[in-house]
Amino acid sequence: MCTVHTLHSSCSIKLRLLSKLILATVFAFGQIAADSRPALAVELEFLDGQVTGYFDTTVSLGVSVRVADRDDSLIGIANGGTATTVNTDDGNLNYKQGDITSAATKAIHELELKWRNFEFFGRGFYFYDWLVADTERTKLTEQAEGRTVRDIELLDAYGVSNFEVRNSPVTVRLGNQVINWGESTFIQNGINTINPVDVSKLRVAGAELREALTPVPALDVDIAFTDKLSVEAFYQFGWRRTDIDPKGTFFSTNDFISPGGNFAVVKGAGTSPDNPPTFDNFVTRAGDRNPRDFGEFGVALRYFEPALYDTEFGLYYIHYHSRLPLTSASSTTGGIGSASGAGYFVEYPDDIDLLGASFNSEIDIGTNSLAIQGELSYRFDQPLQVDDSELIVAALNLCGVGGRQSQLDANGAGALCGFAAGEKINGFRTKEVLQAQMTVTQILGATFGADQVVLLGEAGLTWVPDLEATSVLRYDGPGTGPGDPGTAAANGVPLQTDGFADKFSWGYRLLGQLLFNDAIAAVNLAPQVAFAHDLEGTTPSPIGNFVKDRKTVTLSLRATYLERWQARVAYTNFFGAGSFNLVNDRDFVSTVVSYAF
């Protein structure tokens, strides 16, 4: 049954909803618990039954432990490893094998009230992590602690009105809300781009997806003109961003643009134990440049055809500002010694246009069901990050110093560098980006001794048709070093020839789950395996969907007792792609126990 807090604009496809809920046990990093409304929520009734609703609470205690040893190829040379940068390893160095990376107590509350044709939904969340700040090397910054040690936040808070206009049902939602468009289950950067994600919340042991989706303040109107045709539109009143892992936390792989990151170590400084970073080798961070709080909106047209396997088609247009961070810089007069005169900053470009199309179908095969869904999205002007080596060399005006060069130049005429002191160096380029993906979900009845079997697969691709060759301009990929021969030689590190962003990249995700009802007395058991494989190409940053040969496998077991108690234990292994997989050595186990009432 659809309720006011449902994350989906359509409830016609049951399997579609199931695949979205499975996302809560996802690949991402294997520790996300399934989230759904408890059947035993407290029922509410006021004013002689005129106002009804429910209030539910879920409390949990979870622990995550690192089980893999550090990989030297992901540790900077100055820190005892072999990587050519020390700007990505703080999180790796802060937790050794066997360390507890998260031990969190948390609670989430939901309130729904209904009166006549009006509804209200609110959701609040708070947690305290006892051990995340117990780091081995670098103390978490105050900003990082504020995101990972403790937090209290009102998430969703919106009102709903249901009425009719000329016999057409209309639903209006106003307030902080999640607006879920498109058909993607696992792969990001598709149509479902309205709500950003607070990644740090996903790292809390026992995290739920509903805690990490950042509601946006918006007016959303959905009109059903017929049983088959509907239109939905929204206008957003305030911009919200994606919050990446804070500097020094376990999954952090960037020490200079993440929350708490205030400087970058210049390449060529700190590249050996005998040449450690010094003050003059730091480039400092300036204030973030956020877009305006208005000008974000979208419209969706949906058509449902029951005669065609209950298929729903969708067309979408969204105008929005980037939720993902890009890095640009301001130049200095040149030279390592004057690095402190240069600066960099994080910015969020505005006015991105997206067109999309989607479908979802449900096919009954005997007593089983098969759901097929897919989408195609096209962005006219998505900002893509230029390689950070090019940006730093240009910011310091080091072109020609020690043979260094940068593909960035002041006038775009191939002059290379030549920026005036304090001049902005744009660290991104806007490109047309096309993304396609398809998902298949199969639900089987009693199979393999289980009461139910769920199989899900999703494949997707990202294509940037006019991305320049690396000989013209190198776009950022994870784990890359200097791609310019002069810069590599001056820094005393190998020349980077691969790992930069590609025009085309693709991969797939698989998930299988068995359900055993009353496996042990009244305890239901659900073992699950999830696998992610990036087959070809590296997606440009900050999209980051695919890195060639990167793989993730998660094994988990969930136990549920009387619908109130739930326990889950999981193991996640990251492998493949070598030093381009920046979490290659962050394997972990997690366990969580929760109680709902």
**In the structure, what pLDDT confidence band is assigned to residue 330 with cuts at 50, 70 and 90?**
confident
Task: Identify the band that residue 485 occupies on the pLDDT scale cut at 50, 70 and 90.
Answer: low
Instruction: Examine the pLDDT at 9 and tell me if it is beyond 70.
Output: no
3-state secondary structure of 182: coil
Greater confidence (275 vs 98) lies with 98
Measured over the CA atoms of residue 35, residue 63, residue 572 and residue 385, the dihedral's sign is positive
Task: Out of 12-26, 52-66, 451-465, 524-538, pick the least confident.
Answer: 12-26
Strand partners, 65: 100, 589
For 584: left if phi > 0, alpha if psi spans -120 to 50, otherwise beta; the answer is alpha
Token pair for residue 210?
């509903």
Q: What is the pLDDT of residue 399?
A: 57
- List, for residues 207-260, the tens digit of each pLDDT value: 888 999 999 999 999 999 999 999 999 999 999 999 999 999 999 999 999 999
Per the structure, the count of domains in the chain is: 1
523, two tokens: 């305890």
Least confident range from 167-176, 291-300, 310-319, 410-419: namely: 410-419
Which of 424-433, 479-488, 564-573 shows the lowest mean pLDDT across its residues? 479-488
Phi, psi of 401 (to 5 degrees): -80, 115
Helix and strand element counts for the chain (H, E): 7, 24
**Rounded to an integer, what distance in angstroms lies between the CA atom of residue 283 and that of residue 76?**
17
Q: What is the average pLDDT across 156-177?
A: 97
Domain membership flag for residue 4:
no
Distance between CA atoms of 176 and 451, rounded to whole angstroms? 39
State the burial class of residue 364 (Cβ atoms within 10 Å of its Cβ: 0-12, 13-18, 19+): exposed
Residue 216, domain member (yes or no) = yes
Q: Which two tokens mark 213?
A: 């989706």
d(CA 224, CA 230): 4
Residue 561 lies in a domain: yes
Predicted pLDDT at 490: 55
CA proximity to 588, closest of 46, 92, 15, 247: 92
- Asked whether the beta carbons of 349 and 324 are under 8 A apart, the reply is no
Is it the case that residue 35 has pLDDT exceeding 80? no
SS3 of residue 48 by DSSP: coil
Whether the bond between 291 and the residue before it is cis, its omega within 30 degrees of 0, is no
Residue labelled with tokens 């969204």: 318
Query: What's the pLDDT band for 26 if we cut at 50, 70, 90?
Result: very low
- For 472-498, what is the mean pLDDT? 73
Domain-embedded: residue 7:
no
Q: Is residue 9 in a domain?
A: no
Please name the residue ranges forming H helices in 295-387: none
Three-state DSSP state, 286: coil
Q: Are 421 and 341 in contact (CB under 8 A)?
A: yes
38-47 contact pairs (CB < 8 A, 24+):
38/563, 38/564, 38/596, 38/597, 39/563, 40/563, 40/564, 40/596, 40/597, 41/110, 41/596, 41/597, 42/597, 44/113, 47/115
Selection from 71, 100, 103 nearest residue 88 by Cα: 71
Predicted confidence at residue 8, as pLDDT, reads 34
Round the average pLDDT of the chain to a whole number and report it. 86
Q: 109 forms bridges with which residues in the sheet?
A: 57, 124
Q: Length of the chain, please?
A: 597
Q: How far apart are CA 93 and CA 424, in angstroms?
A: 33
With a pLDDT cut of 70, the percent of the chain lying above it is: 82
Which residue segment(s) compose the domain that 167 sits in? 14-596
Residue 28 lies inside a defined structural domain of this protein = yes
Which runs of consecutive H residues, i.e. helices, occur in 125-241?
Answer: 142-148, 199-202, 209-212
H-type helices in 113-251, by residue range? Answer: 142-148, 199-202, 209-212
CA 260 – CA 76 distance, rounded (Å): 19
In the numeric block, the tokens 């160095």 are attached to 93
The CA-based diameter of the chain, rounded to the nearest angstrom, is 82
Is 532 within 8 Å of 29 (Cβ atoms)?
Answer: no
Highest mean pLDDT, choosing among 69-83, 325-339, 540-554: 540-554
Lowest average pLDDT, out of 295-304, 372-381, 455-464, 497-506, goes to 497-506
Contact 206, 197 (CB under 8 A): no
pLDDT of residue 398: 58
Residue 382 lies in a domain: yes
Domain with residue 391: its CATH number is: 2.40.160.10
Strands 352-365 and 100-115: unpaired
Whether the pTM exceeds 0.85: the reply is yes
What's the pLDDT band for 483 if we cut at 50, 70, 90?
low
Mean pLDDT to the nearest integer, 11-36? 43
- Tell me if 389 sits within 8 A of 408, measured CB to CB: no
**What is the C-alpha to C-alpha distance for residues 151 and 145, in angstroms, rounded to an integer?**
9
Residue 297: is it exposed, middle or buried by C-beta count within 10 angstroms (0-12/13-18/19+)?
middle
Rounded distance between C-alpha atoms, residue 560 and residue 563, angstroms? 6
Beta strand extents in 286-325 (DSSP E only): 296-305, 311-320
pLDDT tens digits along 268-322: 544 444 444 444 467 889 999 999 999 999 999 999 999 998 999 999 999 999 9
* pLDDT tier for residue 12 given thresholds of 50, 70 and 90: very low
Res 10 pLDDT > 70 = no
Q: Are 445 and 358 in contact (CB under 8 A)?
A: no
What's the rounded Cα separation, in Å, for the pair 353 and 349? Answer: 12
Query: What H or E segment, with its residue span, contains residue 5?
Result: none
Say if residues 566 and 596 touch (Cβ distance below 8 Å).
yes
